Structure 1
């Protein structure tokens, strides 16, 4: 396997993380096969089991999207795609988020309809080795298998998503970590049927569907923002990425630079940076100084695939909206 994202050669830590992430995604796919088949076989007419099965089916999307996107992002830039194919990560994230939101909304409608119409799901007895067994117990056993392993897989994937700055892997890990809630909600619904609370099944299904919708909305928001070239943020989309300030600080540490501000485009795993610098004293920098500035900034992190340094008389607000407020706050903190 090529240890690259396009033209970006991965450091040893990221190379190991990528290999491990790919192995975990293949393990996840194999596990999901062993989960969705038993759930389908025992779900009967339970709405909660149906919702749990649907979520397990949706869980196939992030691992597949990650494996496909990683393969695509290895391609080198071409005349048609001069920035490379790193946006494949964003496309995969958008596909996964859209699928989650669509299926979640459908399940919310289906579950709410069954609750309003007071549909009573039958959970009867089955014959096991000559003994009559309530089928709800089999459902609970199967749900335990669908709820515990994903939590372990999710916790193993999460630090790898941080190391690789991979939002598809993060979305997958986040869904895995929350799978115990899906299984737990379905168990509550099944037990509710067992004690005569017919509505517990539909309520549990609504809970599961709502969690799917929540995952879909949060991931869709981050995916769309990234594809719209929003400010570069951390892998979870929660905070501005600290690398932006790191690049500015490295440039401003140079003796010939008075001010520096950058706008950073998050391409997926890697960043494209445009840094505007105001020379101290208004003296134009030499070519060697610009080359040195670029090399110092690029050395800040492996994720900086490309960086351009643009000398300007003053920081251009039309390219850096709100730059005057940011600069004022920065200078006040000095």
Structure 2
């Protein structure tokens, strides 16, 4: 039996990508268990280590949210949920973004307070196998261990997020790819303490906290926009999804269609489409013609799960604002998209 999101059967390629993404999510969770434990045991009084440990804890949220969302979206639509359960992806994305934003804000305040108070974190000596060593070396070794695997996991997840159009998986991959900066920043802070620069630890913690806060703000913006039925965008939330133009182009290729415009809503992994078509003068499309046109659009991409095709005398401009009108209403968003 083929894997499906709701009533949408996945093509073989996406089915294989989903299985790989699930395996990577479980592998990420297993790695994080070891990383969180190691950092906690080694962190001592270092603010940078504390921030790195908090980020590792937060890193559990995206893979867990991804696994839960995938499980939920596989349920077919019901009378209570006629559109299916695809919004579970958006909810998971919002939960992850909220946790990042809240923890990032707290850590920025905590790190800045330590810097202002000029707190000097003690990094003493520790005995390992009968040898006395500076505990900073143990911290650096642990941080080095936490730096490499997340980058490899993030690089492996990113193309899968694009293929599956999964923003929770993308947020997870994006955080993983940036985790090396957290480890390197914390290592610089520890080395700074060893060199007598008391402020280096708090400064490194502030850098890490700022990175967490930035991830939270950017993911929050994309998650809220999607849940408010914004125009469908690419998996990273940077640009309008190319399928919007492809849908209208395919409809305009239909012989009896004079012009067409669509609004496309991102439900999670899949899209719901409302297309308005103006027939050529003197032609009234039959049910067979409408069905054929709809099938031609649905065949464009597996993500087009649901489509409503409406023949009209003229395009309802109030329902389909032009790109120029959208830009005038929110110029900053369009400029950022470029």
TM range (shorter): over 0.9
Instruction: Report the Cα distance in structure 1 between the residues aligned to 2:280 and 2:324, rounded to whole angstroms.
Output: 17
> Are 2:271 and 1:271 aligned?
yes
Cα separation, partners in 2 of 1:305 and 1:136, compared to 1, 3 Å: same
In structure 2, the partner of 1:176 is: 176
Q: What is the CA-CA distance between 1:260 and the residue it aligns to?
A: 0.5
Asked if the contact 1:48/1:204 (under 8 Å) is kept, the reply is: yes
Q: What is the CA-CA distance between 1:128 and the residue it aligns to?
A: 1.0
> Are 2:140 and 1:140 aligned?
yes
Q: What is the CA-CA distance between 1:40 and the residue it aligns to?
A: 0.1
Which string of whole-angstrom CA distances, capped at 9 and with x for unpartnered residues, describes residues 261-318 of structure 1? 0000100000000000000114221111100000000000000001111000000012
> Are 2:298 and 1:321 aligned?
no
Instruction: Report the Cα distance in structure 1 between the residues aligned to 2:255 and 2:325, rounded to whole angstroms.
Output: 24
Q: Which runs of 5+ in 1 are unaligned?
A: 327-334
Instruction: Report the Cα distance in structure 2 between the residues aligned to 1:283 and 1:254, rounded to whole angstroms.
Output: 13
Moved over 4 A (4+): 323-326
Asked if the contact 1:317/1:324 (under 8 Å) is kept, the reply is: no
In structure 2, the partner of 1:332 is: none
TM-score normalized with structure 2 length: 0.95
Q: What is the CA-CA distance between 1:322 and the residue it aligns to?
A: 2.4
> Are 2:236 and 1:236 aligned?
yes
In structure 2, the partner of 1:91 is: 91
Instruction: Report the Cα distance in structure 1 between the residues aligned to 2:17 and 2:177, rounded to whole angstroms.
Output: 19
> Are 2:157 and 1:157 aligned?
yes
In structure 1, the partner of 2:203 is: 203
Query: Which secondary structure does the structure 2 equivalent of 1:281 belong to?
Result: coil
Query: Which secondary structure does the structure 2 equivalent of 1:95 belong to?
Result: helix
Pairing of 1:6-17 with structure 2 (within 5 A): 6-17=6-17
Asked if the contact 1:22/1:67 (under 8 Å) is kept, the reply is: yes
In structure 2, the partner of 1:293 is: 293
Instruction: Report the Cα distance in structure 1 between the residues aligned to 2:242 and 2:25, rounded to whole angstroms.
Output: 28
Query: Which secondary structure does the structure 1 equivalent of 2:255 belong to?
Result: coil
Q: What is the CA-CA distance between 1:167 and the residue it aligns to?
A: 0.1
Which string of whole-angstrom CA distances, capped at 9 and with x for unpartnered residues, describes residues 219-252 of structure 1? 0000000000001000000000000110101100
Instruction: Report the Cα distance in structure 1 between the residues aligned to 2:22 and 2:171, rounded to whole angstroms.
Output: 15
In structure 1, the partner of 2:333 is: none
In structure 2, the partner of 1:224 is: 224
Aligned residues between the structures: 326
Q: What is the CA-CA distance between 1:80 and the residue it aligns to?
A: 1.0
Asked if the contact 2:298/2:307 (under 8 Å) is kept, the reply is: yes
Q: Which runs of 5+ in 2 are unaligned?
A: 327-338
Asked if the contact 2:151/2:180 (under 8 Å) is kept, the reply is: yes
